[in-house]
Amino acid sequence: MNPEDELLAVYDAEGLVIGAADRGTVYREGLWHASAGVLVRSSDGTRVYVHRRTDSKLVFAGMHDCLAGGVVDAGENPADTAIRELREELGVDVPVGTVLPLRATVSWDGIWAGRALRCHLFGYEYRYDGPFTHQPSEIADGWWWTDAELRAHLRDPAWPFVPDTRAVLDGLLTGGNGSRR
């Protein structure tokens, strides 16, 4: 299936689901949609799993990220998206019945490839030490960093890091419920 044909949930600016559209339309028209991402921490909480996206991704190709995540499909809720994306991107199977803690939310109204990109982001956390199995079409490489190592790289505005993750990350790294709309 062509990724641009995937049916996504469409949201309004306030964060309410108002319909559905294919991914190509959502990106071309700059429609509000949602994304769920999971910050994977080591079991002891001292490290964060960071990865580089493949050069073939539809958005933010080749950039670094520390969330396993993706867009919310039509009829799906963000918590289910988070668990699905963790399995698809990193090969992590979350036990049935596990509830991932929602740590941060933010609405990001940005630009990608010269077009508006508007997304409500839901940031979750999961403790896991590996192993990881990268989805070859999405993840080029991955490694562990401490929060301090990640923050040091984030201070460099030229470091190619996914901008919507950058927007939600403060709430995730502080461990609080850093909700912002």
Rounded to two decimals, the pTM is: 0.91
Domain residues of the chain, as ranges? 3-174
Residue type (1 letter), 26: V
Whether the link from the prior residue into 131 is cis, omega within 30° of 0, is yes
**What's the confidence (pLDDT) of residue 175?**
57
**What's the confidence (pLDDT) of residue 2?**
79
**DSSP designation for 73:** B
Over residues 84-111, mean pLDDT: 96
Residue 180 has pLDDT above 80, yes or no: no
Computed over every residue of the chain, the mean pLDDT equals 93
pLDDT tens sequence across 24-80: 999 999 999 999 999 999 999 999 999 999 999 989 999 999 999 999 999 999 999
Among the listed residues 92, 40, 33, 44, the one whose alpha carbon sits nearest the alpha carbon of residue 65: 40
How many CB atoms are located within 10 Å of the residue 179 CB? Answer: 14
Over residues 163-181, mean pLDDT: 71
Q: Is residue 85 annotated as involved in ligand binding?
A: yes
Write the secondary structure of 119-139 as one string of H (helix), E (strand) and C (coil). Answer: EEEEEEEEECCCCCCCCCCCE
Give the rounded distance of the alpha carbon of 180 from its chain centre. 16
Q: Is residue 76 annotated as involved in ligand binding?
A: no
Q: Are 113 and 26 in contact (CB under 8 A)?
A: no
The architecture of the domain spanning 3-174 is: Alpha-Beta Complex (3.90)
**What's the confidence (pLDDT) of residue 4?**
80
**What's the confidence (pLDDT) of residue 179?**
37
